[in-house]
Structure 1
Amino acid sequence: MQNFDFYNPTKILFGEGKIETITEEIPDDAKVLMTYGGGSIKRNGIYEQVTEALVDFEVVEFGGIPPNPEYEVLLEALDVIKDENIDFILAVGGGSVIDGTKFLSAAALYDGNEPWELLSDPIRVEEGLPFGTVLTLPATASEMNSGAVVSREETKEKLAMGGPGLFPKFSVLDPTAVRTIPERQLANGITDAFTHVLEQYMTYPAGGHLQDRFAESIMQTLIELAPKIMEDPSDYEAASNFMWSCTMALNGLIQKGVPTDWAVHAMGHELTALYGIDHARTLAIIAPRHYEENFGHKKEKLAQYGERVWNITEGDTDTKATKAIEKTESFFHSLNIDTKLSDYTDDYEGTAQIIAERFKERGWTGLGEHKELGPDQVKTIVEKSY
């Protein structure tokens, strides 16, 4: 197992009714900016719970943060922060709202030329404006990590940022929020969390036995819960385990001491930037083809995954590994997640070349756990994903 440092200061407030306790976590004299998305929180009762909890605070609202938080929209919110002298942000939403809020946290204290530099350079964020979250859509674990991804329509880019200054001070995880989530978003959340685990697990054996078991247990839990939560999102036990599995999938714990990949995300982000495809669905498009193209490097872990997660017990390593990829793609299909780019756009021809050229321009010539995956191989993987 590799050496590691583990740091995660985010306080988790888990369970029904926990929203009312946020007053204990926000400084008494704070002027709060409440950020949220398209307005679903005003239909499911969460908005009322949050505003009631914040009744003794001075609160400014900024709604309309879109899925795949858009840079230009976030700049409008940044103006509000500066004009209103905001000193605490409360993100009420899913990963997009929380990621957008993390950008705002960093940008509020950034003294460079343009806030986009936080993503394009990228710049490690050591300090940000303090913020907390109320999670409404389990998927990304942004509520308990220090990473974020922001899109820019003008340049058709979707880039990542992060640093220890971007951990939420606290996050509320109330499983009752799950009961009003549409089926498509539930499927996205399951797929997103599942693929997050794969990115930290599907590499090569590195002696991280406990980390492997952590990862496998999260994937097994998601597989077991998927039909239950899709059929009845009001099932509190299922919703609780779904929500916590999504958080545990990317709160930093399971990646410590082991190699990680993240090439699937790098390619998937480009599909979202180019075509607006839901993030989770881009991962489902890329992951199976990525594992096939890098079969030689990954087959031992693929076979282990097949045995432990999918109970594939017959055949040699290559056979188990191949079946494991098939099982993974079938799992996505069971959630009504299509796994070909052509299922989402008719304009897919040339996509692989565009992405490969972007990676060359950015100097992304050594992706994956071995730092060997270059633009030419990326081009092949994306082409096979058509």
Structure 2
Amino acid sequence: MQFSYSNPTNIYFGQSQIAAITRAIPSDSKVLVIYGGGSIKKNGVYDQVANALSDHQWQEFSGVEPNPSVETLNKAVEIAKKDNITYLLAVGGGSVIDGTKYVAAASHYEGDGWDILTGKHKVKSAIPLGAVLTLPATGSESNKGAVVTKKSTQDKLSFLSPHVQPKFAVLDPDAMKTLPQRQLINGLVDAWVHVCEQYITKPAEGMVQDGFAEAILKNLKTLGEDFANHDNNAWRANLMWNANQALNGLIGAGVPQDWATHMIGHELTALYGVDHARSLAIIQPSLLRNQIEFKRAKLEQMGQNVFELAQGPDLAERTIDQIESFYHNLQVATQLTEHGTDKPAAVQAVLNQLQTHNMVTLGENQSITLKKIDEILQSAIA
């Protein structure tokens, strides 16, 4: 294992912690609060944020979509530049936080902000930001990654920079109380796949990383099995904390990581509007079956340690079946139907986008070529 690990995000976890914003953001800051739709005004989160910022100079920007678009976010960049904003506060789920990271970086760049996503511009500085998490899923509240969509070209790309790592994050499970069941399920699935992308690779003798990953997977499995009790303080708190730990950098430190499911899934979201988490559930089982010989050892380990399956020559295959059952029990599909009835055209559309984005060899072994992606899509698309 060779790695450097640091997570400087200060976490305020628990009920009534939104009040911590008052001391977390310097009092002389010019703050731009960024959020999505009107849900935070219905569940009391907006009022709590406003109260916490009562002694600060602040304004707001709303309308950030699920799968945040650069077209919308650039309007916030204009405000940040024009009004000399010195601190950003994201209030929402992963989409709002990812979008705010883009605003933070693009506000310190004079060119086209999309250059950050294409790699043309390397982020050198950004407006500092904090986050109030309302939908646990992505772990974006305490990591340095962001995913942004360009609607005009149906591109969905990501970037990483330590400059956009949130300075602090408020995780109050009460903010989840009014979330629709679909969004809670999406959060559960998203966190699950985040762990899998860092765990179902090849043995690396990372005892802490494997043990922690397996603990999170078992926790998420338990939460999924107990979904009927999701309107429960402990259930909410545990999903929120598990989703955070799934992608704060720790379980992936010094071990192989995959992320091919995400790269292919992003294209389903960009092309067909599939919820991000559900795009992952569509791709992952087919990808695991396609790459089973590379991933057999870790799948067998997962089968034993997470699903408590008996040893046997088909243990890896049975583990994939259990993963697929986990999704089906949550009423999450594992085949794409949003494309309509033209399967060949859908497969080709995804392949074309991946080629455009230079995503032609994926996975921890670089064994997922376009030919393999074609095979995966043939299985994953109905």
Question: Which TM-score tier does this pair reach, normalised by the shorter chain?
Answer: over 0.9
Rounded Cα–Cα distance in structure 1 between residues aligned with 2:140 and 2:165: 9
Range with greater deviation from structure 2 (30-39 or 351-360): 351-360
Secondary structure, aligned partner of 1:158: strand
User: Quick check: 1:192 aligned with 2:187?
Assistant: no
User: Quick check: 1:296 aligned with 2:293?
Assistant: yes
Q: Which residue of 2 aligns with 1:54?
A: 53
Rounded Cα–Cα distance in structure 1 between residues aligned with 2:376 and 2:231: 39
Secondary structure, aligned partner of 1:134: strand
User: Quick check: 1:91 aligned with 2:101?
Assistant: no
The count of aligned residue pairs is: 381
In structure 2, which of residues 201, 204, 225 is the aligned counterpart of residue 203 of structure 1? 201
Secondary structure, aligned partner of 1:90: strand
Is the 2:263–2:359 Cα contact (8 Å) retained in structure 1?
Answer: no
Q: Which residue of 1 aligns with 2:218?
A: 220
Is the 1:180–1:233 Cα contact (8 Å) retained in structure 2?
Answer: no
Q: Which residue of 1 aligns with 2:153?
A: 155
User: Quick check: 1:368 aligned with 2:366?
Assistant: no
Report the CA distance between 1:123 and its aligned residue. Answer: 4.2
Report the CA distance between 1:167 and its aligned residue. Answer: 0.4
Secondary structure, aligned partner of 2:289: helix
Q: Which residue of 1 aligns with 2:354?
A: 359
Secondary structure, aligned partner of 2:31: strand
Aligned partner of 2:160: which letter?
A: G
Report the CA distance between 1:227 and its aligned residue. Answer: 3.8
Report the TM-score when normalising by structure 1.
0.96
Report the CA distance between 1:151 and its aligned residue. Answer: 0.7
Aligned partner of 1:101: which letter?
A: T
Q: Which residue of 2 aligns with 1:305?
A: 302
Range with greater deviation from structure 2 (96-105 or 338-347): 338-347
Report the CA distance between 1:145 and its aligned residue. Answer: 0.3
How big is the alpha-carbon RMSD for the aligned residues of Structure 1 and Structure 2?
Answer: 1.3
CA deviation profile, 1:303-345 (whole Å, cap 9, x unmatched): 11011101111422xx110011011011011111111102664
Report the CA distance between 1:233 and its aligned residue. Answer: 3.4
In structure 1, which of residues 125, 128, 131 is the aligned counterpart of residue 126 of structure 2? 128
Aligned partner of 1:356: which letter?
A: L
Secondary structure, aligned partner of 2:12: strand
User: Quick check: 1:248 aligned with 2:253?
Assistant: no
Rounded Cα–Cα distance in structure 2 between residues aligned with 1:183 and 1:227: 14
Report the TM-score when normalising by structure 2.
0.97
Q: Which residue of 2 aligns with 1:232?
A: 229
Q: Which runs of 5+ in 1 are unaligned?
A: none
Q: Which residue of 1 aligns with 2:75?
A: 76
Is the 1:178–1:233 Cα contact (8 Å) retained in structure 2?
Answer: no
In structure 1, which of residues 90, 112, 115 is the aligned counterpart of residue 113 of structure 2? 115
Aligned partner of 1:359: which letter?
A: L
Is the 1:218–1:249 Cα contact (8 Å) retained in structure 2?
Answer: yes
Give the percent of matched residue pairs that are identical in Structure 1 and Structure 2.
45
Say if 1:122 and 1:188 are closer, same or farther in 2 by CA, change over 3 A.
farther
User: Quick check: 1:322 aligned with 2:317?
Assistant: yes
Range with greater deviation from structure 2 (75-84 or 35-44): 75-84
Rounded Cα–Cα distance in structure 1 between residues aligned with 2:94 and 2:104: 15
User: Quick check: 1:339 aligned with 2:334?
Assistant: yes
Is the 1:178–1:234 Cα contact (8 Å) retained in structure 2?
Answer: no
Rounded Cα–Cα distance in structure 1 between residues aligned with 2:93 and 2:120: 24
In structure 2, which of residues 264, 269, 278 is the aligned counterpart of residue 267 of structure 1? 264
User: Quick check: 1:384 aligned with 2:382?
Assistant: no
Q: Which residue of 2 aligns with 1:281?
A: 278
Is the 1:124–1:162 Cα contact (8 Å) retained in structure 2?
Answer: no
Is the 1:306–1:321 Cα contact (8 Å) retained in structure 2?
Answer: yes
Report the CA distance between 1:186 and its aligned residue. Answer: 0.5
Is the 1:149–1:159 Cα contact (8 Å) retained in structure 2?
Answer: yes
Is the 1:356–1:376 Cα contact (8 Å) retained in structure 2?
Answer: no
Rounded Cα–Cα distance in structure 2 between residues aligned with 1:28 and 1:8: 24
Is the 1:36–1:63 Cα contact (8 Å) retained in structure 2?
Answer: yes
Q: Which residue of 2 aligns with 1:167?
A: 165
Q: Which runs of 5+ in 2 are unaligned?
A: none
Range with greater deviation from structure 2 (131-140 or 207-216): 207-216
Report the CA distance between 1:231 and its aligned residue. Answer: 2.4
Report the CA distance between 1:27 and its aligned residue. Answer: 1.1
